[in-house]
């Protein structure tokens, strides 16, 4: 089922999230819906606040980027109750976008690698180091869990330049090819 995507300006994106418990209802169905909604909107990463839930759930599928970033080949994951334990001081700047912030792309600095503790879709615990594009995507989605949106990281000057566009999204004056919640 396709879910509406909550847009920039909706308070749910600023609220932060809570860990889910093992008896979380309909988890399998929610994950399937999140993947379906993300694919339909042509996204590669998606966090629960973007469908209006303050839960620590992220889905990622970077397969479509494998041509440009070989480390993305077959990279389809679910991250539940994730915590970044450590991240590199070395950073890389690359352009990012977000399904909740349509038509805005900004160059964002992210750590080259992260060490992440999380549960998978079967609620099995893992601790892994992710590098390259997966590390960037995880940091972007992790921000959503913390109530942060990628444009928050833009420089003061860039923020000024995109402020009218952000205001338009906040005011619901935006056209999207996918179903949204304004």
CB of 158 to Zn ion, least distance (A): 17
CB of 25 to Zn ion, least distance (A): 25
- Residue whose CB is less far from Zn ion, 98 or 138: 98
d(CA 3, CA 34): 7
Residue 176 phi/psi, 5-degree rounding, is -125, 150
**Residue with the CB atom nearest Zn ion in the bound state:** 98
- Residue whose CB is less far from Zn ion, 113 or 150: 150
List residues near Zn ion by CB under 5 A.
98
CB of 100 to Zn ion, least distance (A): 5
Residues 6 or more apart whose CB falls under 8 angstroms from that of 76 comprise 60, 61, 62, 63
- Residue whose CB is less far from Zn ion, 92 or 123: 92
Would you name the residues annotated as active-site residues? 141
Residues 6 or more apart whose CB falls under 8 angstroms from that of 114 comprise 84, 86, 87, 88, 129, 130, 135, 138, 139
Q: Could you tell me the two tokens for 123?
A: 């609620």
């Amino acid at each position: 089922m396709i879910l509406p995507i909550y847009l920039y300006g909706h308070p749910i994106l600023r609220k932060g999230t809570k860990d889910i418990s093992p008896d979380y209802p309909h988890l399998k169905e929610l994950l399937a819906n999140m993947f379906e909604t993300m694919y339909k909107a042509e996204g590669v990463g998606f966090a629960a606040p973007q469908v209006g839930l303050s839960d620590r759930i992220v889905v990622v599928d970077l397969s479509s980027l494998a041509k440009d970033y070989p480390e993305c080949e077959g990279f389809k994951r679910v991250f539940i109750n994730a915590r970044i334990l450590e991240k590199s001081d070395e950073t890389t700047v690359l352009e990012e976008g977000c399904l909740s912030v349509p038509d805005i792309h900004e160059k964002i600095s992210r750590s080259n690698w992260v060490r992440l503790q999380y549960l998978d879709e079967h609620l099995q615990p893992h601790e892994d180091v992710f590098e390259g594009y997966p590390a960037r995507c995880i940091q972007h989605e992790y921000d959503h869990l913390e109530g942060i949106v990628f444009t928050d990281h833009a420089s003061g000057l860039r923020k000024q330049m995109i402020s009218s566009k952000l205001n338009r999204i906040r005011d619901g004056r935006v056209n999207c090819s996918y179903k949204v919640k304004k």
